[in-house]
Each structure stands twice: as structure tokens, then as C-alpha cells.
Chains A and B, each alone.
Chain A
């Protein structure tokens, strides 16, 4: 049965400290749960690569293409000469392109965020209500009694307020 050790801290620094020690002790990557973004997580647990930027970029490209295609394509589909201008009129179509670029850029960014952060969460995951308010939690998954006890020790000496064992789905 996969269970997690959970340590609640009163301040982010000791939580980070605990995380570092756990990592050092060969545990799998510990997870921090906090009411506010904690700065310097990367330095402790190693940098994270985010795919969102790619989403945004390609979303924008797609938007640009579809924008111009929409404007020019529909204009050619049903010829309506207006104001003595050519059927495909560059300047106005560029404005459409611009707007569509941004629109799709935004949508793609959202998509990227949802995917990379695995939202919306379909199944229940380890969740600590206290960490929603003013506690800083460190969880690390440890199978078996003695690994849990080791983790507990590390957490306690890092200054955890409480340490408990939780399993997936519990909250």
C-alpha cells in the first residue's frame, strides 16, 4: 500500500530544508504544498522545465495563419468588391491576423497550463487543507514502515510541527 509521509511546517524555509534533506537521504522527489508560491524551490529540488512557452508560441503561429486564411479565404469565396480595393486587401487583413494570433496564443497558453499542471484533476490526490491557509507541507512517498520512520525523523528534525502518514485519496 503506497503511503506518504507528510510534515507540516510553520514557515517555508524549514519546509525547504526538510525537502533538501529528504532528497539527500535518497527519497523520491519530495513535494511541497503551500498557500503561496515558495521562491527558490528550483535551487533545492532542481530546475523544472515548463512546456507552456511552446504552447503559446505555436498557438500564436497557428492563430496568425488561420487569421489571414479566414480573412483572405472568405473574401475569395464570395467576391464582394468594396471601395475599389482589391479582393485580398493586406492592411485590414493583417489586423485580423494580429487579433487571431493573440486569441489563439491565449487559448494555447491555457491549454498548456492545464496539460502541464494536469488540470482538471479527475482523481483525488494528496491534499492538505492546512496548506491552503497558513501551513507549509512536505510530502514524500515512502513504502513500508521503516522508510516512513526515517522520513518522519528527517521531517521532525527539520522542525516539522506535525508529521503524519497519509495515503493517496485521503485528505
Chain B
């Protein structure tokens, strides 16, 4: 990093970020166009069809009433878990390498949360009544059932969404201010508004520092609680294969795991297509790689644990469950998951692998595919092997479901593309902090532009 940053000046990062906001190539518009098109055709169109026809448009059936929609929900929630969480942890531990990447990581959190919320809408049988799950005074005096794990979800996710959006906004106030005077037209007004009139006085810096740290401290336990709660949607039931104490840590680890992989993917894209080569460097990939390795080991450990307890219990319910998972109808998916999430990441042991970009990209995507499979299997293999053998059924996702999965990805991409044009996707001031204090030199060229 140092070697690269020797010649880097405050003004450079400044200009780079501002460029990333104002200068837009045809490539961007094309990508955005495609994303929006896919979003409309693969997400909204099938969804509207499903609203008209009923959940029957999906492949779910009587014992397996949950399916890919819920799997996607968990997946996106999981993906949201490294952004803010990681950023907070690193902020508190005050690690330098965080600074170039945390902004986009937090954005990832935000948008995957939004997509997750959308998946809930898709999942519901009567989404037009979703407001009933929100506690608001009404003439029926009916309130949501606060004993329900699903309602914990509602509370947790709302909080998490609020928290992380505030967190990302607070972090960018100085940057809004910084780009405020470099932009014109609507952007200028927007940033003036967003920067709340930030000047950069020592008082402001001081307050921001405090607030930011407090937020970080609050958000870490929140993020952990969110995915524990998501896991309780399952673990609080008495369904064999779901009713497991290990589930909360299992889900949290899985979440951070897939989230970190997600960050790697996003980092790669930003670096490549937004020309942030100088700021997002081998170092970041190296550190993320190490993190991934640790997480993958944790994940494998918990999986083995789950198998063992299932086998050790010896009860027919657990045992059939296990047999079905390993050798049943969905077995290929299971082994694919093991390969992608348990075996492949072992490559990260090698320094060379961690510091080479393309392989990291491939691996990170593989991991997330594996993690999606995991979420799918958790639902499909357990619900189709309930207590009464007479009710056993196999569940096969329908085309509508598959296309909605694709569409949800498009939704995420769209949101992210819009984000990089509005938010400084690399934190200007924090990157400046990591640089050497400038030496005396001629007037910066920005005055010439005045």
C-alpha cells in the first residue's frame, strides 16, 4: 500500500472519487439498463403473476410450504451481514485496511437487506396485508403476536435496516461535503442537503467520531441478534432437523461467511470498473481471504457437528432426516454445497491464491452459490421429512421461483449501480487519513477549475 501511495496526494483521491460520481461511461448505462430490464422481466412480471394466481405459482406443496423465497430471504439477510458488521468491528479495532472498502461493504448490507425485505413480500400468501405484522394502533385493537419468532424478525430487521442506513450516512457526511463544491446542478443541491452544512471544524470531527463509534458499538450486537433471530424462525419449531440449538451460531457464521465472500466480489468489481486500483489493493483481498478461510473452517465444523448430533440421537425422525439429506433426492445439491463452502475455500491457505484477484472472484461467487444451496436445503430437506411418514413429499421449485431468484440478484445490482453514482463509494476522508501528510507544493489544480 505504502509503495503505491507514495505519490498519491489528497487531491488525487478527491478527484478520483468525484470522477466516479460525475463521469459516467456508456458501459455503466448499458449495465444499468440490462439490470433494470432483468429486474422487470424476471422479478416483477412473475411476481405479479403469482399475486394474481396465488402462491401455487411456486412449486411448494403441503408439507413443504416454505421454499426458495424464504431461502432467498435468509440468503440476502446473510449477505447483509458482513458489510456493516465487519465495518463496525474493524472501526472499533481501528484497522487501517478497512477504510478503502467499508463504504461499499455497508452499501451491500443496505441493499441486500432491502432485497431480503422484498423476498418476504414475495413469500407471503397475502402480501397486501403485510402491514398487520407491524404494531400500529388500529380500531380492531388487534396487535401482532409478539411471541412469534417471525415478529422478532420484523423488529430485528427494521432495526438493522435503520441502524445500517444511519451508519453509512453518518460515515459519508464529510464526503458529501467534500464533493459538494466539486459538483454542479442537482448534484450540488443534493450534496448540500446531504452534508447538512458540514465544514470540518475540529468540533464537528470530534462529535462525528464519538457518534460513529457509539453506533458501531450498538450495531455489532444488533447484527449478531438479527441472524440468530432469523435462525429461530426454524429452530423454535419442533421439526426434526430444524429444532437445533446450534442453529443461531450456525446462521451467524454462515451469514458472515457469505457476506465476506460477497464483499470480495463487490471489491473486485469496484476495483476493476470504477478504477480504484490504487485504493483497493492486494492487501484487502489478502485480509478478506484470511477471514474467509477462518469462517469456512468454522462453517465446516458446525456442519459436521450437525451431522454427528443427528446420527447420535438415533431417533427415527432425526435419522431419516440425515439419511435424506446425505443420500436423498437433494443429495447432489448437498454435496455441491460441501464442495463449494467446505472444500474449495481451503485453497485460501496459499498466499498466492489470496493475492490473485480473478481466482478470489471465482471462489467468492462459488461460496455464495454454496451458501444459497445451504439455505435451500435447510428448508427443502427438513420440511419434506416431517414426523408423519404419510405426509412425506418432494418439493421442486417452479420456473416462477427460479426467475424470481435471478430477478432478486438484478434488483441488488440495480440498487448498487445507482448507489455508486450518488454515494462516494470510497470514503474520501478516511483514505486521506491513511495517506502521508502532504508536502508543500504548488497550488492544486482544483482552483484552476474555479
The answer to whether A and B touch in the complex, with CB atoms under 8 Å apart, is yes
Cβ contacts under 8 Å, B218 to chain A:
56, 102, 105-106, 109
The answer to whether A82 and B210 touch across the interface, beta carbons within 8 angstroms, is no
Beta-carbon contacts under 8 Å, A5-30 to B:
10-13
The answer to whether B210 and A50 touch across the interface, beta carbons within 8 angstroms, is yes
Taking the complex as formed, is A144 at the interface, i.e. its CB lies under 8 A from any CB of chain B? no
Interface size class of B (residues with CB under 8 A): 35 or more
Distance A35 CA – B432 CA, assembled complex (angstroms): 8
The answer to whether A106 and B215 touch across the interface, beta carbons within 8 angstroms, is yes
Distance A52 CA – B218 CA, assembled complex (angstroms): 13
Distance A75 CA – B151 CA, assembled complex (angstroms): 13
- A-side interface residues, number (CB < 8 Å): 63
Name the residue on B nearest A48 (C-beta). Answer: B206
Taking the complex as formed, is A71 at the interface, i.e. its CB lies under 8 A from any CB of chain B? yes
Cβ contacts under 8 Å, B221 to chain A:
102
The answer to whether A56 and B214 touch across the interface, beta carbons within 8 angstroms, is yes
Q: B146 contacts which of A13, A71, A105, A116 (Cβ < 8 Å)? A: A71
Taking the complex as formed, is B311 at the interface, i.e. its CB lies under 8 A from any CB of chain A? no
Q: Whole-angstrom distance from the CB of B224 to the nearest CB of chain A?
A: 11
Distance A74 CA – B219 CA, assembled complex (angstroms): 27
Q: B199 contacts which of A41, A116, A122, A126 (Cβ < 8 Å)? A: A126
**Given A12-B437, A50-B210, A99-B156, do A117 and B202 touch, yes or no (CB 8 Å)?**
no
Instruction: Give the number of residue pairs across the A-B interface with Cβ within 8 Å.
Output: 176
Secondary structure of the B contact surface, majority rule: helix
The answer to whether B206 and A53 touch across the interface, beta carbons within 8 angstroms, is no
The answer to whether B159 and A33 touch across the interface, beta carbons within 8 angstroms, is no
Taking the complex as formed, is B181 at the interface, i.e. its CB lies under 8 A from any CB of chain A? yes
Chain B contacts to A: CB under 8 angstroms: 9-11, 14, 135, 141-149, 151-152, 155-156, 158-159, 162-163, 166, 170, 174, 177-178, 180-181, 196-211, 214-215, 218-219, 221-222, 225, 229, 428-429, 432-433, 437-440, 444, 446
Chain A contacts to B: CB under 8 angstroms: 10-13, 31-38, 41, 45, 48, 50, 52-53, 56, 70-71, 74-75, 77-78, 80, 82-83, 85, 89, 92-93, 95-96, 98-100, 102-103, 105-107, 109-110, 112-114, 116-117, 119-122, 124-129, 131-134
